[in-house]
Structure 1
Amino acid sequence: MGWKTLEAMDFAGKVALVRVDINVPVSDGRVTDTTRIDAVLPTIRAIAGSGGKVVLLAHFGRPRGKVVPEMSLAPIRPALADRLGAPVAFAADCTGPAARKAIAALQPGGVLLLENTRFHPGEEANDADFAAELAALGDVYVDDAFSAAHRAHASTEGIAHLLPACAGLLMAAELKALESALTAPERPVVAVVGGAKVSTKIDLLRNLVRKAEHVVIGGGMANTFLAAQGVAIGRSLCEPGMEDTVHEILARAGEAACTLHLPRDFRIAQDLEPGGEMRIATDCPPDWMILDAGPDSVADICAVFDQCRTLVWNGPLGAFEVAPFDTATVEAARHAAELTRAGKLVTVAGGGDTVAALNQAGVAREFSYVSTAGGAFLEWMEGKTLPGVAALDRG
């Protein structure tokens, strides 16, 4: 990639327009989880420490081009200032007189949060005039919102063509981690793909069987693969009508010399309830459900991890939200973390359920890199070009 990093830019005395993702949960006017805020603090501090004026561009919710008071970024400013440990100014618009006045009042090293970019229809339309209005506010553009990089919006793509542009520290770390996972990985590579539906991850599977030596399939997706091969799955979650897709993916894997791993034993139950009867089985009776991979399957997965040098993980192996059907995910994740600590495995994971599952296993901080990007992480893994990343590539 030809994108620049912060170190390549001079921020002294300049206005840096910094695109961040601080689309955080808010309840009763208060931020309840500062994870995304914390993630962008290093970039803010680096620019401010270099004497730049930090002007934050961000979205919140889906106001669809209209001013929706409940989706104002104003309630996020106090939490941002608290986590930053410094004052944060706020402007009631992201363009126009309010934004210009607030930027003019900002001192070098100061931080300003502009109002929700999605209050303007030109944002999601990637309107050239709106992008130009944004660009006119600053001297330099910094994109630190990988999680929004799959959207070709004015503040994520359009503006990058109008100003000297670079990746923020979070964006650069994300891109480096993803490139190490699939673009130029240490081999062999194993990918874990879980979740409920094959239909939502067809492109991902098609790409991964070409890039990885091993693909482990778990969750409800595994049931669909098993059913397509004639395995009885009882009342398990399954997508009917996906047989042709399953056989196509199996054929692609065979052509690419990629080994697909499906569970060979299961944790089954009649209901998805904590404390209910659970059995370990190699088949599933008609009135039971497969809710997690069994111990032999977990041993198989861990053995594959032992053979590999790079792990890419997206999606849980079972219904991890309800114990004991989190067992396979937790045990496999902890084994991967152990290998990571020993320097034997590079581990990159992403996706909302994945992050939650790794947190539940207590190992999210022990993986080489855990992305909270969601859709952008998935599209990268699918081999798609992300507009917000491509716009930074001037090389």
Structure 2
Amino acid sequence: MVKRFYTLDDFDFGGKTVLLRVDFNSPVDLDSGRVSDDSRIRVHVTTFEELVGEGARVVVLAHQGRKGDPDFISLRQHTEILGDILGMSVGFVDDVFGEKAITAIKNLKNGEILVLENVRFTAEEKAKMPPEKLVETDFVRSLSGVADYYVNDAFSAAHRADASLVAFPQVLPAVAGRIMERDVKILDKVSKDPEKPAVYVLGGLKLEDTFAVIRHVLGNDISDRVLVTGLVANSYLLAKGYNLGEVNQSFIEKKGHLEYLSSAKEILAKFGDRIELPVDLAYDNEGKRIEIGLEDLPVEKPIKDIGSRTIEKYSHILQEAKTIVLNGPSGVFEEENFAAGTKMLFEAVAKSQAFSLVGGGHTTAALHRFKLETRISYSTVAGGAFITYISGEKLPAIEALKKSYEKYSK
């Protein structure tokens, strides 16, 4: 197999300063301002332990939230969480690339970790420039000047072209961390030459995300079938001509899906024979779950899950699969009465003999809620990057790793 990028196996990091880009972007309780789920911090443990074990001086680059959003906060508490997870003291500096940060980096000892402040606190992180221009920014010049290597373990951010993801590989040997390496390897397995029959399950809230995935996996015969659930399924049903009721159509409009209905119709016209839509739905009648067949629509109550006949139909298809890729819950799984679709499809995946991949933050949260993590072949917290990859599109951060390998391997 042709090597595409460096991994941690390619270098000895002992005594070297490593810029490690991770994805610490975590859910935050808006009342307390505290991180409410440490999954995205915990996932990087293997990479941290390897680098620290080799005696590297590890400088952490990460982001949290977006400017203007309530979860746009400091990484100070992420640092505390990381220290607790690793069982060691982890340093923090409330600076990204200024004198305070550079001095702290120079004072690092072998085997120590220093977390820099939220990289999105600096405007240069989101500057709209090509990588060759980003390397000229003070941000990149300052940090690359005190580092020996750059390691990217943030697959879940790999679809972005931010400075901390694409610029450093231009000026430093760039290496894939263990999560980056594993996620790419597994995604290649399921999206390039999967064992057949292959089934993709697409749910959640974003209708537009499904178009590129369906065109790629069905248009290139990567997948045999696509099962559609969640709000995207309701939107496809609307595109097919079903009247879901004013309350549900208003919700679909609120989510911005109406502008994509013409595209949904085109997808159904081209691939409809291999796209499975729900045959029944569950709606909320004052907290009570009521199921309704498509033949009995419309309904003037909120639809919150797929129905029992759909669950049975989809579960049977999943039992026959050899490869399963699942992204997005089937309904409002946080509510007990509307968790059945998500839970039972996950259980069908877990019971199957297929190689199964689950991706996306909400999807992995549901997996955790139903305690099925150990029965799935692989799960990734990546959402946008996951969708981009299985759509057959290039990810800027991975392309940057490839270019660095081509440059430095010579």
Per the TM superposition, whether the score is higher than 0.5 is: yes
The CA distance in 1 between the partners of 2:361 and 2:40, in whole Å, is 13
- From the superposition, tell whether residues 25 and 227 of structure 1 become closer, same or farther in structure 2 (CA, over 3 Å): closer
2:163 matches 1:154: yes
The CA distance in 2 between the partners of 1:205 and 1:94, in whole Å, is 40
Q: How far does residue 70 in structure 1 lie from its aligned partner after superposition?
A: 7.1
Instruction: Map 1:185-334 onto structure 2 (within 5 A).
Output: 185-210=194-219, 211-235=222-246, 236-237=248-249, 238=252, 239-240=257-258, 242-253=260-271, 259-269=274-284, 271=285, 273-274=286-287, 276=288, 278-289=290-301, 290-334=303-347
- From the superposition, tell whether residues 5 and 305 of structure 1 become closer, same or farther in structure 2 (CA, over 3 Å): same
2:141 maps to 132
Aligned length: 382
- From the superposition, tell whether residues 96 and 70 of structure 1 become closer, same or farther in structure 2 (CA, over 3 Å): same
The CA distance in 2 between the partners of 1:233 and 1:84, in whole Å, is 50
The CA distance in 2 between the partners of 1:304 and 1:95, in whole Å, is 52
Seq. identity, %? 36
- From the superposition, tell whether residues 38 and 241 of structure 1 become closer, same or farther in structure 2 (CA, over 3 Å): closer
| CA contact 1:92–1:114 (8 Å) conserved in 2 | yes
2:359 maps to 350
| CA contact 2:102–2:143 (8 Å) conserved in 1 | no
| CA contact 1:51–1:109 (8 Å) conserved in 2 | yes
The CA distance in 1 between the partners of 2:294 and 2:262, in whole Å, is 25
1:6 maps to 8
2:376 matches 1:361: no
SS at match of 2:227: strand
* Per-residue Cα deviation, 1:163-222 (whole angstroms, up to 9, x for no partner): 111111111111112111212322221011112352343223322322311000112222
Q: Which amino acid aligns with 1:331?
A: M
SS at match of 1:71: coil
| CA contact 1:228–1:242 (8 Å) conserved in 2 | no
* Per-residue Cα deviation, 1:308-346 (whole angstroms, up to 9, x for no partner): 21111111223333332221221111010112xxxx211
* Per-residue Cα deviation, 1:31-53 (whole angstroms, up to 9, x for no partner): 43221121112111101111211
SS at match of 1:23: coil
2:393 maps to 384
TM-score when scaled to structure 2? 0.85
Q: How far does residue 365 in structure 1 lie from its aligned partner after superposition?
A: 3.5
- From the superposition, tell whether residues 89 and 291 of structure 1 become closer, same or farther in structure 2 (CA, over 3 Å): closer
2:121 matches 1:119: yes
- From the superposition, tell whether residues 91 and 194 of structure 1 become closer, same or farther in structure 2 (CA, over 3 Å): same
- From the superposition, tell whether residues 285 and 31 of structure 1 become closer, same or farther in structure 2 (CA, over 3 Å): closer
The CA distance in 2 between the partners of 1:100 and 1:197, in whole Å, is 41
1:71 maps to 73
Q: How far does residue 279 in structure 1 lie from its aligned partner after superposition?
A: 3.2
Q: Which amino acid aligns with 1:377?
A: F
SS at match of 2:44: helix
Q: Which amino acid aligns with 1:233?
A: L
The CA distance in 2 between the partners of 1:382 and 1:285, in whole Å, is 33
The CA distance in 2 between the partners of 1:192 and 1:372, in whole Å, is 16
Identify which range, 129-138 or 196-205, moves more after superposition. Answer: 196-205
The CA distance in 2 between the partners of 1:70 and 1:317, in whole Å, is 29
The CA distance in 1 between the partners of 2:381 and 2:206, in whole Å, is 20
The CA distance in 1 between the partners of 2:291 and 2:269, in whole Å, is 33
The CA distance in 1 between the partners of 2:396 and 2:81, in whole Å, is 30
TM-score when scaled to structure 1? 0.89
| CA contact 1:23–1:36 (8 Å) conserved in 2 | yes
> What runs of 5+ residues in structure 2 fail to find an aligned partner?
none
Identify which range, 144-153 or 349-358, moves more after superposition. Answer: 349-358
Give the RMSD, CA atoms, in angstroms.
2.4
2:49 maps to 45
SS at match of 2:282: strand
Structure (1/2) with the larger helix percentage: 2
1:171 maps to 180
* Per-residue Cα deviation, 1:54-78 (whole angstroms, up to 9, x for no partner): 11111222248xxx99722223222
